[in-house]
Amino acid sequence: MTLKVIGRRLTEFRSSREFLGAIADAMQAHDCAFFDAKILHRDISVGNILITEDGKGILIDWDLCINLNQGTAVARRPSRTGTWQFMSAALLNDPSIPHGREDDRESAFYVLLWLALRFTRHTTLPKGSSSAGMASASQPKDDDVVLFLRAFDEAYANASGDVRGGGLKIAYLVGKLLAKGLQFTKRPELDTLVTELKTVFKVRYEDEPDDKKFERMRKMKADNISEDILLDNIAYDFEARLTKLRQRGWLVDTIRTHLNIGEWPNDDRAEPQRIVPHTGSKRKMMYEQINLDERASKRPASDG
């Protein structure tokens, strides 16, 4: 048997363009497996995407995948499946729900965010500040960033003793965390990409509009109201974002569209950012993000 290295770790990217392109390539493979063969990966993480020498992305470690041709019940498991740090907030909050493609796509978003925050320069703006007065990229005022990085290892026991998580991820998605001025240095298109993806993923955690709003939307559609006006309808916007989240190619196309817009640096290779979360509790709820190592075991994460 011959063993051969097929790629670099995702954390060894040579530019932001490269790691984003690799994620898009990996999720294109994910789409093909899901839509063409009804295979769901269920463990999208930093460790399961490699970068080839020609800069392409490969999605590996399919040992936790499931064949949905065997019936929808197969997606329901008594314990969570995946790498805890990158699992969707929905699965972390409720392990009884079926694992779907939306969860894998949300995991890919967290992979993107974690890489961008841990390995590329960024800054945050103090409240009320403009970009003209932004803090130094090497020394960001990032208490919110530190708090958000806790989201990747957030875990707590509920009243029944079951382990839960996802609260900080939800807070970020709905705008209660990192809501003020996060900017990635010299990559405004990355800012725009993250905002666009976040807007779609947060639909999973918003309250669904009431029946009256949906009825109003149906009437507007029947009257052939233009989409520009329909987008102001809460129910239409909610439904449109849900559709995007589920449709083939949405995540891949969105990333690649932004990669083709504007100018991206060609030499902003991975550069670990020294942002270490603070813990105010003796109970270790997370690993230090600067030394975050993914779990070697690919067994489903336990609830006990």
pLDDT of residue 123: 84
Per-residue pLDDT at 199: 96
Q: For residue 236, give every residue at least 6 positions away whose Cβ sits within 8 Å of its Cβ, in sequence order, or none.
A: 217, 220, 230
DSSP string, 80-103: --S-GGGS-HHHHH-TTSPP-HHH
Tokens standing for 184?
């990635």
DSSP SS3 for 49: strand
Q: What pLDDT sits at residue 114?
A: 96
Q: Which amino acid is at 55?
A: G
So what's the pLDDT on residue 205?
97
Residue type at 301 in one-letter notation: A
What is the pLDDT at residue 177? 83
CB burial readout 222-237, b (16+ within 10 A) else e: eeeeeeeebeebbbbb
The number of angstroms, rounded, from the C-alpha of 243 to the middle of its chain's C-alpha atoms is 17
Which pLDDT belongs to residue 154? 94
How many of the other CB atoms lie within 10 Å of CB of 277?
A: 19
As a whole number of angstroms, the distance between CA 94 and CA 116 comes to 27
What is the mean pLDDT of each successive set of 10 residues along the chain, which is 304 residues long? Answer: 78 97 98 98 97 97 92 55 94 92 98 96 62 41 76 90 93 84 89 96 96 93 89 92 97 98 92 67 37 40 45
The pLDDT of residue 276 is 58
